[in-house]
Amino acid sequence: MKNTLFALALVLFISCDNDKKTEEDIDYVAKNESDIQAYVEENNLTAVRSNSGLYYVIEEEGTGTQAVASSSVTVAYKGYFLNGSVFDQSDAEGVTFGLNQVIAGWTEGIAYFKEGGNGILLVPAHLGYGSRDYRGIPGGSVLIFEVSLIAVN
């Protein structure tokens, strides 16, 4: 009887403890999806949704080499939140990096462009920095990037 009560108490404790979700445990997928759809509609964007949940707008496809997930690229960009607040921006010459060294939304999204192309990436948290705060970016944030693919190196 004593063991049964202990086991029951333990089960109740674990059940109650699991109901206390922290910010890190929240699943932002559905919220991000809804927020991105509202943003696309409010801003009259013609965005395509990929199977991963990334939304992208190709303003100009470009005519040069197509980027792939393993490419090293030079990209000029501006990153901001849904409210328009800018959190990062390159200069006009851009920044060079490997697409295998960045967030999943960029690895996938930049590969939709060819050199000389530009557009917008709307990155849900699961393809960005996830549900935890990261260097000034609040957990669960949708990230919007205006990108110009300058070169596939």
Name the residue ranges covered by the structural domains of the chain.
23-152
H helix count then E strand count, the chain = 3, 7
DSSP state for residue 114 in the 8-state scheme: B
Secondary element (H or E) of residue 131: none
Q: Average pLDDT in the 99-122 region?
A: 97
pTM of the entire predicted model: 0.83
pLDDT at 9: 34
Q: What is the pLDDT of residues 2-18, one digit of tens each?
A: 443 333 333 333 333 44
Q: Is 40 a residue whose pLDDT tops 70?
A: yes
Q: What is the pLDDT of residues 59-85, one digit of tens each?
A: 999 999 999 999 999 999 999 999 999
Go through 68-102 and write b for each residue having 16 or more CB atoms within 10 A of its CB, e for each that does not: eeebebbbbbebeebeeeeeeebeeebeebebeee
Q: Rounded to 5 degrees, what angle do the CA atoms 122, 105, 112 make?
A: 85
Q: Residue 145 is encoded by which pair of tokens?
A: 């990037």
- Closest C-alpha to 52, from 119, 137, 126, 103: 126
Share of residues in the chain with pLDDT > 70 (%): 84
pLDDT at 25: 55
Tell me which fold the domain 23-152 belongs to: Chitinase A; domain 3 (3.10.50)
- Closest C-alpha to 126, from 57, 41, 36, 17: 36
DSSP state for residue 137 in the 8-state scheme: B
Q: What is the pLDDT of residues 82-99, one digit of tens each?
A: 999 999 999 999 999 999
pLDDT band at 124 (very low <50, low <70, confident <90, very high): very high
Q: Is 22 a residue whose pLDDT tops 70?
A: no
